[in-house]
Structure 1
Amino acid sequence: MEQQTEAVAVPPTTLLTLNQKPKEAMEQQTEVVAVLPTTLLTLPREIIAHILSNLVDESEGKSDIQAVLRTCKVLYAVALPISVSVFRNTVKSYSGSSAASRTRNIQFLRYILIQKPWLAKNVRTVIIGRCSVYDDKYVGFNRRQKGYETMSDDELHVYGYHIEHIIGQLPSGYTLSWYKQWMADLKSGTSDSQFALILLSCTNIRTLVYMEPEGTRHVGQLLRFARNLLHINIAIQTPGSEWGDGNHPKMAIPLANVRDVFHETPNYKNGYMTFYLEAPDLLALPRLRFYECVLANGDYVAATMFKALPRRSSSVEEIVLHCSYLCPEALKGMVGACKALKKFEFTYGRLVTSPDLMTPRDIIEALLPHADTLEELYIHLEDNGEKDWDWVESPEKLYLGPRLHKLRFLKKLTVGMQALTGMLAFPPKPEDDSEQMPLEIEGARTIVECLPERLESLLVRDCGVAIVDQMEELLAVIESGSRFEKLTDIRLVFNAWKMDMDVDGPEITRLNRDYANVRLNIVLQNDLAYLYDLGFLITEDDEYVTERNPMSRVNSRHVRDEYLESRGKVSNEFEMVPNIFD
């Protein structure tokens, strides 16, 4: 009788080795143990570079990447180009603005053009405070700064070579005079000439963020020169043109790789009154996609500059004008220059009270040529504020009207109640004996008649109870599933500090119920949160007592990001972005 053996569960790896000779099994086991663990240094350099790039923060003056340079040769080689990818030069100034340090400019230029000239091509982002052509006024103050430096004659010789190499492409008496002035200003140490040299020498800049210059002798000329080079380069590359036969080598065009431009001013009273001297040239940059200006002040002179831009010539896809004033013709010229605009944002700033301030109707007329591309529209005109609009002769200009429906690819809309419906939430304060804005524009279309069908998100500001009836109609249409199938997010921001909640509250609560196809949020906003939502300047209680805008990318990108996330959601001061002054 055979002896029965008890079944034993054996792991699969053990079963494989039962049929192997001991030597084979040992060799297999040894082979498994010999696999080396993965470490940072064993990764491909592209992956290491991607990891280390996260140590560079545009919002900080010093980067953690500097510590990596002191670890080992391998990481040093990978981290070195990343260490210069962001050049940030902003320091607090007794004048109340974020000035640029001339010493920091000199050190950076020396590093990327003399000590390690192969690094200049790795500069991707330039963030710089206010530069000036009048630095001699502050020479005493600047010389007291720790580590004040000047350029040597040998350094100036190298810098002169870089300047001559680019502007010498168009030899003339003008460029020769400009070259001499540029070299003289570099020797005297003006921050304007230093900033222009950084822009000229760093050929792969993608993001440019700067404060309005105090005078612009070289930065402004460089922008215009780049624009002229671009047009000439296109001409000489075109066979049969008057400039050439198409066989000429391509020109080296400064700032040709810039995709993103932001500039602002420290002048909160009058705004950026000379932004039109730079903006048209910036919009002409061949690869620019995003343009933003804070406190832009554009009157009829700006309109002349923008209208000189050829229509549909700019590659800009997004325009943001925050706390700004713009006349209708300036808007038309700026927007008309874009080939295919995807986003337009305008927030009104109390810089000018003028009948030339663009109206909602001006905005929609300027944007209609982009009806097939525009996806996001953000308008905050402070609807209840008196802006001296000529509503008596042309009341229809005070709201967008049925033409809004023609923006058929629009996905996201932020707008005031009057601009959307033609109804004013509250009567404005009487001033003198002049006629006041109407509470309702006769014949104005309803929200249902005006909204584009593909809209996904709607935020309406400056609301009063007059919007409730129209909103009930819109919600009923959405719930029926007959129209606005993609409109799933609606937010209404009421000016609660102007309302009698005992009377108006029950009217608003008519909307406060659950909906199957849409999410409705109602915000009752107080006056302080309303001003905060407009993005008015904030005052920092520090040794300089400085002011800045929460939309600033020069002063604090983190505050900006949190502010953008909070817009249209804040109802009182206790819900504002924490640490707003950090």
Structure 2
Amino acid sequence: MDITITINEKKPSPMEQLQSPELNPPNLLTLPPEIQAKILSHLAASFGRSSIQPVLRTCKTLHEVALPISVSEFRNTHESKVQGPCSRLRNAQFLRYILVSKPWLAKHVNTVIFGQISNGDDEESREYTEGGEPDPRIATDKELAVYRQHIELILGQLPSGYTDKWCNHWMLDLKRGTSDAQISLILLACPNIRTILFEMSRHKSHFVRLLNLVRSLVDINTSIHTPGSEWGDGNHPDMVIPLSNVQDVFHETVNYRSGYSEFDMDGPDLFALPRLRFYECILARGNDATERRFGDLPRGSSSVEEITLHSSSSTPGALKKMLRTCRTLKKFEFTHYGYDMSGLMTPRDILHAVLPHADTIEDLYINMDDVWDKGWNWQDNPERLYMGTQLRELRVLKRLTLGMQALTGMLGAKHLNHTQVAHQMPMQIEGATRLVDCLPENLEYLKVCMCGLGIVEQVEDLIKAVEEGDRFRKLTHICLLFNGWTTEKEVDKSQVRLVCQAPGVHLEIDFQNPIRAAFDLGRTIGEEASKQPCNVTSRIHAQNRRQHYFETRGGSETTWYSRHL
């Protein structure tokens, strides 16, 4: 006879369940608020659709943590994911949210990304409310009164009364709903913005005046703390300076014919932002006007430490004045877009602009087209075609990427048929310095682009110096990038017999085809699904493509020769 005994166990109470780690394993709600915020911050993506909004509707605890994160980044770009006007309605909704509905959130905005803005003359009028009807009044009188308070708080710090006229003009444009007025107010009213990404816009007024305002307030605030100055009597409080916490600025255009035509207006004013450290621009055009406006900035007044100019052109004077404003320059990258010959600059010009920062610059990346860059009377000053021994004066330089001609005065190919000018070029400039005699001694990474067979002998000298250990003791990576489309006509790859026996030194050799070389020069423009142009280095529209570009530039798709010893 089988006997079954049933024991009724007492179930734990709800309170016991909460207190028991076995019954209630750790979850998101049990973590400290700062850890929750760190986790949820990854849902506020810069690209694509943000996933933070659904978290706001989960529970009160996560709502409180996620709400500041939900406004940490404001993105308003063209719906087609290419350059174009930003939405005025979205601007108005964001302003209403952070300045009227929940004004305490304005301090949590740290990234602003916007497309082309306008003062209204050429704005698209197809802005719709959720009901599908045009919104006839983007801001109410109550909202406009709040906006005026923010504007008057900042503009009222200036000693002259001219700001009254500007304030009234700004308010009128806010009532009209122009994107220029809206974006400028967002930038004015959010005190902790760290990053600004935007597209070049013409016909803007308030944005330009806002940047000028920041320069004026910085100058006055400096004067306040300068004994003997007009304001230096110790009776004035610190100025409230908008954009004073911005550290990172990126701006771009996709107009390869005209380039960033407003660079002379935007660039110098951005360099005057008091805490800016990272500056990047696509298709910058440095002309005489750029030189004059950068010249208005005092030497060493800018906090910019890293400058990247993609597919850009500049006059020597404009570049020199730009770099002289930097107090401490650590990185400079310049890729020359050869279509625009009005801003022609040679390797020697770049070196002279960089030399004042010889004690601070650690990373130098220069990529120039050895064919396009000969559209000037080089015969009178052939030494400008290469940098020479002054390059050694960059005493703390760690990383160097430079073309063969800029280093050695030698062209990388005999068959240059892109322009008639190229046929007149000699294969080597007489008196040019050898590779081992111009490289900085503390170099750790060297990449030579646009190589021809003429550099092989000079690289052998460099390898010998590295193997002997008397020079270039920190050099651990040497990369040569040959012009495969020309070299292959004359020599087989196997004839480039370079071996480095120095322990820990990585020797890499690649051959590029013309498409890949043009890609590295920034000539090609990627396309999104809409078939509209999108620059491959864009931080606004091409995050994944940009990342792939930086991971693979300066090489072939597959490295055919790579050796570690």
* 2:230 counterpart of 1:242: yes
1:348 maps to 2:348: no
Does the 8 A contact of 2:411 with 2:428 survive in 1? yes
Residue pair 1:353, 1:387 contacting (<8 A) in 2 also = no
Query: How far off is 1:37 after superposition?
Result: 4.3
How far, CA to CA, are the matches of 1:189 and 1:320 in structure 2? 34
- Separation in structure 1 between the aligned mates of residue 70 and residue 557 of structure 2, nearest angstrom: 42
1:132 matched to 2:118? The reply is: yes
Check whether the contact 2:371–2:418 (CA below 8 A) recurs between aligned residues.
no
1:438 — aligned with what? 426
Equivalent-residue separation in structure 2 for 1:472 and 1:264 (angstroms): 41
Structure 1 position 233 matched with structure 2 position 244: no
Q: State whether residues 270 and 351 of structure 1, in contact with CA within 8 Å, keep that contact through their aligned partners in structure 2.
A: no
Distance in 2 between residues matched to 1:221 and 1:571, nearest whole Å:
46
2:102 matches 1:116 = yes
Name the CA shift for 1:124/1:383 in 2 (closer, same or farther; >3 Å).
Answer: same
Shift of 1:177: 1.3
Alignment of 1:295-310 (within 5 A): 295-310=283-298
- 1-side partners of 2:378 and 2:320: how far apart? 21
The partner residue of 2:387 within 387, 395, 400 is 400
Letter in 1 for 2:523: F
Residue 546 (structure 2) aligns with: 560
| Alpha-carbon RMSD | 2.5
Letter in 1 for 2:390: R
The runs of 5 or more residues in structure 1 that have no matched partner are: 1-30, 574-582
Aligned mates of 1:430, 1:212 — CA distance in 2:
31
Is the CA contact 2:511–2:555 (under 8 Å) kept in the aligned structure 1?
no
The secondary structure found in structure 1 opposite 2:371 is coil
Report Cα offsets for 1:284-337 as digits up to 9, x if no partner: 111110111110011111111111110011111001111000111111111000
Of 522, 529, 533, the residue aligned with 1:535 is: 522
Q: What is the match of residue 410 of structure 1?
A: 397
> How far apart in 2 are the matches of 1:440 and 1:275?
36
Q: Which moved more, 1:429-438 or 1:199-208?
A: 429-438
**Equivalence for 2:255:** 267
Q: Distance in 1 between matches of 2:45 and 2:20?
A: 42
CA contact (8 A) 2:108 2:192 kept: yes
Is this contact kept in 2: 1:405–1:450, CA < 8 A? yes
The SS at the match of 2:546 is: helix
d(CA) in 2 for partners of 1:305 and 1:382?
28
Matched, 1:70 2:61: no
Among residues 158, 162, 165, which one is paired with 1:170 in the alignment?
158
1:423-502 matches, cutoff 5 A: 423-427=410-414, 428-429=416-417, 431=419, 436-501=424-489
- After superposition, what is the alpha-carbon deviation per residue over 1:128-168, rounded to whole angstroms, capped at 9, x for unaligned? 111112355522x4459967542222211211111111111
Question: Scaled by the length of structure 1, what TM-score is found?
Answer: 0.87
What amino acid is aligned across from residue 345 of structure 2 in structure 1? M
Q: Secondary structure at the match of 1:98?
A: coil
Following TM superposition, by how much is the alpha carbon of 1:73 offset from its aligned partner in structure 2, in angstroms? 1.2
Q: Is the 8 A contact 2:77 2:83 kept in 1?
A: no
Give, as a single letter, the amino acid of the residue that structure 1 aligns with 2:140. S
Q: What's the CA shift for 1:237? A: 2.7
Q: TM-score, normalised by structure 2?
A: 0.90
Identical residues among aligned pairs (%): 52
SS of aligned partner of 2:119: coil
Residues 66/135 of structure 1: CA separation in 2 closer, same or farther (3 Å cut)? farther
More moved, 203-212 vs 534-543: 534-543
* SS of residue paired to 2:431: coil
| 1:212–1:266 contact (8 Å) kept in structure 2 | no
**Other structure's SS at 2:242 match:** coil
Structure 2 SS opposite 1:278: helix
| 3-state DSSP of counterpart to 2:372 | coil
1:480 partner amino acid: E
**Matched residues in 2 for 1:564 and 1:515: separation?**
28
Separation in 1, partners of 2:329, 2:261: 25
| 1:304–1:504 CA distance, 2 compared to 1 (3 A) | farther
Amino acid at match of 2:447: L
1:42 alignment partner, one of 30, 34, 45: 30
Describe the shift of the 1:116–1:465 C-alpha distance in structure 2 as closer, same or farther (beyond 3 A): same
Cα 1:46–1:346 shift into 2, 3 Å: same
Contact 1:59–1:558 (8 Å) recurs in 2: no
Aligned to 2:357: 370
Counterpart of 1:368 in structure 2: which amino acid? Answer: L
Deviates more, 1:336-345 or 1:441-450: 441-450
Matched positions, count? 538
Q: Tell me which amino acid in the other structure corresponds to 2:42.
A: N
- Partners of 1:284 and 1:431 in 2: CA distance: 40
| Cα distance in 2 between the residues matched to 1:293 and 1:524 | 29
What SS does structure 1 have at the residue aligned with 2:474?
A: coil
Listed as ranges, the gaps of 5+ residues in structure 2 are 1-18, 560-565
Q: Displacement, 1:407?
A: 0.4
Q: What SS does the corresponding residue of 2:374 show, helix, strand or coil?
A: coil
Indicate how the Cα distance of structure 1 residues 488 and 177 shifts in structure 2: closer, same or farther if over 3 A, else same.
Answer: same
Structure 1 residues 485, 244: closer, same or farther in 2, change over 3 A? closer
Q: Return closer, same or farther for 1:541/1:364 CA change in 2, 3 Å cut-off.
A: closer
Shift of 1:495: 1.1
Greater alpha carbon shift after TM alignment, 396-405 vs 153-162: 153-162
Alignment of 1:570 onto 2:562: no
Q: Deviations over 1:453-472 (max 9, x none)?
A: 11111111111111111111
Shift of 1:54: 1.7
SS in 1 for 2:378: coil
